[in-house]
Amino acid sequence: MRSSALALVCLVVFASPALAQQCLHGASETPEQASRRRDALSAARLVNTLQATQPGAAERRYLKHEDLGGSTPGLPVQFKLVPGEHIVPGWKLALDLTPRGYWFSIEDTTDPCGFRYISNEQGLIFLAEPLR
């Protein structure tokens, strides 16, 4: 009986934060969050466009994160391609090169559910969030 009560208390204490999470994107998304999400999607499209149109793309050589900003004279002011800075406010870009391509994610750092966009050299953009 005592161990059952302890297990129930532990379940309530540790599960409550997970159950109480209010995801920012989904059915209850506010207009402000939808606008932020669209900005991040535009940033994902920009990364794919920059990679696809730079000179090394034909040989499947792609730019590292630190090189993306240098390839974009006239970059729209709302996007920041500098490593360590948010690509758009509240969204973090992680970009990795592979021997024949690249992949990246743009994560909403304010969303407790971990919403992000993911893409690679194929140019398709996917919605993703961790399993709950």
- For 109-126, the pLDDT digits (tens) are 999 999 999 999 999 999
Instruction: Give the number of C-alpha atoms closer than 13 A to the C-alpha of residue 118, restricted to the C-beta side.
Output: 9
Judge whether 82 lies within some domain. yes
SS3 80: coil
Judge whether 11 lies within some domain. no
Mind listing the pLDDT tens digit for each residue in 75-93?
676 789 999 999 999 999 9
Tell me the residue range of the domain where 122 lies.
Answer: 31-128
Judge whether 1 lies within some domain. no
Overall domain count for the chain: 1
From its phi and psi, is residue 26 left (phi > 0), alpha (psi between -120 and 50) or beta?
left
- Which strand ranges, in their side-by-side order, compose the sheet holding 101-108? 91-98, 101-108, 116-120, 125-128
Judge whether 119 lies within some domain. yes
Judge whether 7 lies within some domain. no
Judge whether 98 lies within some domain. yes
pLDDT in tens, the chain (132 residues): 554 444 444 444 444 444 457 999 998 999 999 999 999 999 999 999 999 999 999 999 999 999 987 666 666 767 899 999 999 999 999 999 999 999 999 999 999 999 999 999 999 999 998 887
